[in-house]
């Protein structure tokens, strides 16, 4: 028949097409999330910040473990309580050939917080600082109060060029006209939803990259991304789903690379309402919010089998957590260990607090935000039911979840009683979660903005605020560790585990895992 010949012809055509071998000098990434702008200040969000790291350098770099090292600045130090002096690298050129100097720094920090229509600006890192040019290669950052996190903040802000970048609009960046930085790669092309292509900067001050060209392709669907790697269409993928890890380990064509992230998954508990909306007595009547009692919070922490979550829900790809950041980060306490699983101890504590018979509670969580988030919520629900708290589990898309979790109640306060959330410390040190999650919700001072349990303890607040005004690193480390210990003592939040991220590469490449979850060329090494 006619149609069968057509089918044959189609199949035959497919065979002869074959697939062209990828050029050795080109590296292709399959990314779990899409980069949505070439303007480094338009949207302060991980996928954008990661990709734009290739085009634009920072004054200070964050390495794979978010430790700071010199970038466009050679050195930075406080010269008095309110002034930090940055010495800039000389002889660095932008992609268009102009020289990098202090003017670029000043205007970059001016533009960073002021991009029109930005859904999330860099004001978070820039505000409270004024940048003054001293000479062509020296700038002073002045603050109103002593500020220790200058290095961390400055390391987030890209440097664009005074001549092209600072006066440009976001659209000019997206077209490539203004996408001029000093970074290891130059803008090639940007097709929203399809790809970003970058070309090697042969004159990079820190040595030219190994690849002539890199392409980043967003492949949001997990199985498709894995398939693209297996088919050899991409060289590196981010966000390997935990369900595929075992299969991929046994595949000779690909290699997996894993490392902990700075993201802690934790539970926030309603500690500000006498009657919490999703907690009821066993018979369904209203009861006084049991989570106000530290013994109940401790009991919940003891009832959670963190090893089981890691082993069975996360397929072994996570680290049990006993504090806000994994060990190795600045401000982490040496003394804290993950709570051991102790259901009997939990029952005893509940009984002691007067809840020996238990109560009803709902755990709310997102189902599309963190690795296996909905499954974790279900597991925690079961574990708590086992010690007598009758749990319901409700998960929802993050687009709905975060609004309700932050301000969903009629009074504009958090709606839920007991929630699963995660926190990634963008600054790479412990003040970030302490300031946002543990400190009392304080709109005036800008503290506790994500404190959805509204835990409030003046003593801990005082230590956090002291740490944030202590420029001396050793002293600040101790204060941050102390604040963390205090917060764990009163169980302000209950950490469950630290996420571990997995990257997949084709054989012959390796990826140095980054704690900030970024996927960048600089972490890809040839074996």
Partner 1 sequence: MSTFIIRRLLQAILVMALMSVIVFFGVNVIGDPVHMLVSPEADQAEIEAAIRRLGLDKPIWEQYLLFVKNAMQGDLGKSFIFGEPALKLIFHHMPATLELAFSALFLAVLIGIPLGLFAGLNPDSPISKGIMAGSIFGFSLPTFWVGLMLILVFSVELGWLPSTGRGETRSVLGFETSLATVDGLKHIILPALNLALLKISLAVRLTRAGVREAMGQDYVKFARAKGLSTNRIIFVHVLKNIMIPVVTVMGLELGSLIGFSVVTEKIFAWPGMGKLLIDAILQLDRPVVVAYLMIIVVFFVLINMIVDILYSILDPRVRLQDQGA
Interface with partner 1: number of residues (CB under 8 A): 72
> Smaller CB distance to partner 1: residue 118 or 484?
118
Helix (H, G, I), strand (E, B) or coil at 401: helix
Q: Counting contacts by CB under 8 A, is residue 230 touching partner 1?
A: yes
CB 141, min distance to partner 1, A: 19
- What is the β-pairing status of strands 360-366 and 390-396? parallel
Please say which residue, 120 or 275, places its beta carbon nearer to partner 1.
Answer: 120
Find the binder of partner 1 among 23, 75, 120, 203 (CB under 8 A): 120
Tell me, residue by residue from 442 to 461, as one string, x for binding to partner 1 by CB under 8 A and - for no binding: -x--xx-xx-----------
Listed residue (334, 317, 312, 316) closest to 325, CA to CA: 334
Complex with partner 1: residue 117 or 135, whichever CB lies closer: 117
Instruction: Report in angstroms how near the CB of residue 219 gets to partner 1 at its nearest.
Output: 4
Residue 360 lies near partner 1 (rule: CB under 8 A): no
Residue with smaller CB distance to partner 1, 101 or 427: 427
The only residue of 29, 423, 498, 518 in contact with partner 1, by rule CB under 8 A = 423
Instruction: Choose, by CB under 8 A, the member of 219, 467, 494, 521 that binds partner 1.
Output: 219
Out of 58, 95, 217, 514, which residue is the one contacting partner 1 (CB under 8 A)?
217
Binding residues among 181-200 for partner 1 as defined by CB under 8 A = 191-195
Q: Among 249, 403, 507, 525, indicate the residue that binds partner 1 (CB under 8 A).
A: 403
398 is a contact residue toward partner 1 (CB under 8 A): yes
Q: Which is nearer to partner 1, 142 or 369 (CB)?
A: 369
Binding status of residue 399 toward partner 1 by CB under 8 A? yes
Residue 283 contacts by C-beta under 8 Å, 6 or more apart in sequence?
Answer: none
Nearer Cβ to partner 1, position 28 or 108? 28
Tell me the Cα Rg of the chain: 25
Longest dimension (CA), the chain: 88
Q: Is 147 in the site for partner 1 (CB under 8 A)?
A: no
State which of residues 27, 32, 39, 496 lies at the interface with partner 1 (CB under 8 A).
39
In terms of phi and psi (left: phi > 0; alpha: psi -120 to 50; beta: otherwise), the region of 388 is left
Q: What is the 3-state secondary structure (H, E, C) of 331-382?
A: CCCCCCCCCCCCHHHHHHHHHHCCCCCCCEEEEEEECCCCCCHHHHHHHHHH
- 57/215 with CB nearer partner 1: 215
Segment interacting with partner 1 (CB under 8 A) among 11-19, 92-100, 464-472, 481-489: 11-19
Contacts of 178 (CB under 8 A, 6+ apart): 39, 160, 164, 165, 168, 169, 172
Q: Which of 151, 183, 218, 365 binds partner 1 (CB under 8 A)?
A: 218
CA distance 372 to 312: 11
Q: Which stretch binds partner 1 (CB under 8 A): 16-24, 356-364, 386-394, 511-519?
A: 16-24
Alpha helices in 395-492 (DSSP H): 398-407, 431-433, 458-467, 473-489
| Buried-state track 488-526, b at ≥16 Cβ within 10 A, e below 16 | bebbbbbbbbbbbbbbbbbeebbbebbbbbbbbbbbbee
Residue 15 binds partner 1 (CB under 8 A): yes
Q: CB of residue 253 vs partner 1: minimum separation in angstroms?
A: 10
Q: State which of residues 146, 232, 241, 345 lies at the interface with partner 1 (CB under 8 A).
A: 232
Q: Which stretch binds partner 1 (CB under 8 A): 239-247, 351-359, 420-428, 491-499?
A: 420-428
Exposure string of 239-270, with b = 16+ CB inside 10 Å and e = fewer, is: bbbbebbeebeeeeebbbbebbbbbbbbbbbb
The number of C-alpha atoms within 13 Å of 108 and in the hemisphere containing its C-beta is 30
CB of 291 closer than 8 Å to CB of 494: no
Q: Which stretch binds partner 1 (CB under 8 A): 29-37, 80-88, 137-145, 290-298?
A: 29-37
Q: Which of 27, 29, 32, 37 binds partner 1 (CB under 8 A)?
A: 37
Member of 74, 231, 246, 462 binding partner 1 (CB under 8 A): 231
Contact 424, 516 (CB under 8 A): yes
Asked if 6 is part of the footprint of partner 1 (rule: CB under 8 A), the reply reads: yes
> Are the C-beta atoms of residues 417 and 362 closer than 8 Å to each other?
yes
Any contact of residue 171 with partner 1 (CB under 8 A)? yes
**Could you say whether residue 83 binds partner 1 (CB under 8 A)?**
no
Compute the Cα dihedral for 251, 258, 517, 184 and give only its sign: negative
Q: Which residue in 426, 453, 504, 513 binds partner 1 (CB under 8 A)? A: 426
Q: Which C-beta is closer to partner 1: that of 143 or that of 385?
A: 143
What's the CA gap between 357 and 485, in Å, rounded? 31
């Amino acid at each position: 028949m006619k149609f069968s010949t057509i089918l044959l012809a189609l199949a035959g055509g497919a065979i002869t097409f074959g697939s062209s071998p990828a050029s050795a000098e080109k590296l292709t990434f399959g990314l779990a999330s899409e980069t949505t702008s070439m303007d480094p200040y338009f949207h302060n969000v991980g996928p954008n910040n990661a990709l734009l790291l290739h085009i634009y350098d920072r004054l200070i770099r964050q390495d794979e473990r978010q430790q700071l090292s010199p970038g466009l600045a050679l050195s930075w130090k406080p010269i008095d309580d309110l002034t930090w002096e940055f010495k800039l690298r000389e002889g660095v050129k932008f992609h268009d050939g102009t020289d990098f100097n202090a003017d670029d720094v000043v205007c970059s920090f001016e533009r960073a917080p002021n991009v029109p229509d930005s859904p999330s600006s860099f004001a978070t890192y820039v505000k409270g600082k004024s940048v003054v040019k001293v000479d062509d290669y020296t700038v002073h950052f002045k603050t109103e109060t002593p500020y220790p996190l200058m290095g961390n903040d400055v390391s987030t802000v890209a440097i664009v060029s005074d001549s092209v970048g600072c006066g440009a609009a976001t659209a000019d960046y997206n077209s490539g006209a203004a996408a001029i930085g000093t970074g290891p790669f130059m803008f090639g092309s940007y097709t929203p939803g399809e790809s970003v292509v970058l070309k090697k900067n042969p004159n990079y001050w820190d040595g030219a990259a190994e690849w002539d060209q890199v392409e980043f392709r967003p492949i949001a669907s997990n199985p498709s991304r894995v398939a693209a790697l297996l088919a050899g269409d991409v060289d590196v993928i981010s966000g390997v789903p935990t369900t595929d890890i075992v299969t991929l380990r046994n595949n000779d064509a690909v290699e997996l690379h894993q490392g902990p992230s700075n993201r802690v998954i934790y539970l926030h508990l309603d500690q500000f309402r006498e009657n919490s909306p999703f907690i009821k007595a066993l018979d369904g009547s209203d009861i006084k919010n049991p989570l106000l009692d530290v013994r109940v919070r401790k009991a919940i922490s003891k009832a959670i089998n963190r090893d089981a979550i890691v082993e069975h829900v996360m397929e072994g790809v996570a680290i049990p957590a006993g504090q806000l950041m994994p060990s190795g980060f600045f401000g982490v306490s040496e003394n804290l260990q993950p709570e051991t699983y102790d259901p009997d101890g939990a029952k005893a504590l509940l009984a002691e607090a007067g809840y020996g018979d238990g109560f009803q509670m709902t755990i709310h969580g997102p189902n599309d935000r963190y690795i296996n988030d909905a499954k974790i919520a279900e597991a925690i629900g079961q574990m708590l039911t086992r010690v007598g708290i009758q749990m319901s589990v409700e998960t929802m898309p993050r687009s709905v979840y975060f609004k309700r979790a932050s301000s969903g109640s009629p009074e504009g306060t958090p709606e839920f009683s007991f929630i699963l959330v995660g926190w990634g410390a963008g600054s790479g040190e412990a003040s970030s979660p302490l300031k946002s999650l543990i400190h009392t919700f304080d709109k005036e001072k800008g503290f506790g903005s994500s404190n959805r349990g509204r835990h409030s303890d003046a003593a801990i607040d005082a230590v956090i605020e002291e740490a944030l005004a202590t420029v001396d690193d050793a002293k600040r480390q101790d204060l941050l560790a102390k604040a963390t210990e205090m917060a764990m003592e009163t169980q302000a939040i209950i950490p469950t585990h630290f996420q571990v991220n997995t990257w997949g590469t084709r054989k012959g490449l390796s990826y140095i895992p980054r704690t900030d979850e970024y996927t960048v060329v600089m972490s890809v090494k040839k074996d």
